[in-house]
Structure 1
Amino acid sequence: MNRQLQIDDFSLRAHCLAVERLRADPTRIVDLSATLERWQMQSGETRSDSHWAEWRTMLAAGVDAIEAATCSADDHAVVLRSVSPAGILITQEERDELRLAAGLGAVQPGERRSSSTGRTP
């Protein structure tokens, strides 16, 4: 599998896990909304604005809408996952496990790690 497909697989796995977290505690949608709001305030106008607007709509609609829009392999879901605030719902250890499951290998020393903000799961 080429690297881009591995990255897409990782992202899909991460979002499916995030949806599981939201099903267990739907109040975490507030955390996602706050993250999205902070990103928009910090970045100003970007090409992601239309996708962030879609995220706001999904967050308002609830977990089923988030799952339907992000937990599939279609191109639009891939784009939505690329601008998603859902990363705050998974731990670094889980990210590492998902990387391995997607065939990306372990994070190497000096390689940039994604940072999570907000509450831990």
Structure 2
Amino acid sequence: MPTHADLDARSLALHRLVAERLRQDPAAFEHARDTLARWRQSADARVQPYLAAWEAIMAKGLQSTIVVMLEESERAAALRQASPFAGLLSHAERFAALKAWRQEHPHASA
């Protein structure tokens, strides 16, 4: 069974792909902003602080957002759990990335 650290590492790996997508297609950043705005309207109160943090981070621009997105800290790991960037990868891209991650981390797949 995957540990919390495994899940955080998997999330970071997915966010690395998202960061690459954002670098290649900065317009995708607006899609994430739209997602965040929708979530802010309907998310549970427990999630709102994370969404507010993403809003503040994203207000600083794409590069600053990517830095935080890829940061290896407890704060960034927590933020990635409520990431407005998840929809930027296609299902096929996400599936392929998760399959590759499981192959690289077989201990976390049980």
TM-score bucket of the superposed structures, by smaller chain: 0.7 to 0.9
- Report SS of the residue matched to 1:26: coil
Alignment TM-score, normalising by the size of structure 2 = 0.81
Query: Residue 53 of structure 1: CA displacement?
Result: 1.2
Aligned CA RMSD, in angstroms, stands at 2.1
- Gaps (5+ residues) in structure 2? none
- Distance in 2 between the 1:22 and 1:16 partners? 10
Question: What do the CA deviations read for 1:23-50 (whole angstroms, capped 9, x no partner)?
Answer: 112122211111111112123x512222
Name the count of aligned residue pairs. Answer: 104
Contact in 2 for aligned 1:36/1:85 (Cα 8 Å): yes
Is residue 7 of structure 2 the alignment partner of residue 7 of structure 1?
A: yes
Is residue 9 of structure 2 the alignment partner of residue 35 of structure 1?
A: no
Is residue 87 of structure 2 the alignment partner of residue 88 of structure 1?
A: yes
* Higher helix proportion: 2
- CA shift in 2, pair 1:101/1:73, >3 Å: farther
Identity %: 29
Contact in 2 for aligned 1:19/1:63 (Cα 8 Å): no
Contact in 2 for aligned 1:10/1:98 (Cα 8 Å): no
Alignment TM-score, normalising by the size of structure 1 = 0.74
Mapping of 1:1-121 within 5 angstroms?
2-43=2-43, 46-103=45-102
Question: What do the CA deviations read for 1:47-81 (whole angstroms, capped 9, x no partner)?
Answer: 22221111112222122212221213211111010
Q: Which amino acid aligns with 1:52?
A: L
- Distance in 2 between the 1:96 and 1:3 partners? 20
| Greater relative contact order, per chain length (Cα 8 Å cut-off, separation 6+) | 2
Query: Residue 89 of structure 1: CA displacement?
Result: 0.8
Q: Which amino acid aligns with 1:21?
A: R
- Distance in 2 between the 1:97 and 1:9 partners? 16
- Gaps (5+ residues) in structure 1? 106-121
- CA shift in 2, pair 1:84/1:97, >3 Å: same
Structure 2 counterpart of 1:112: none
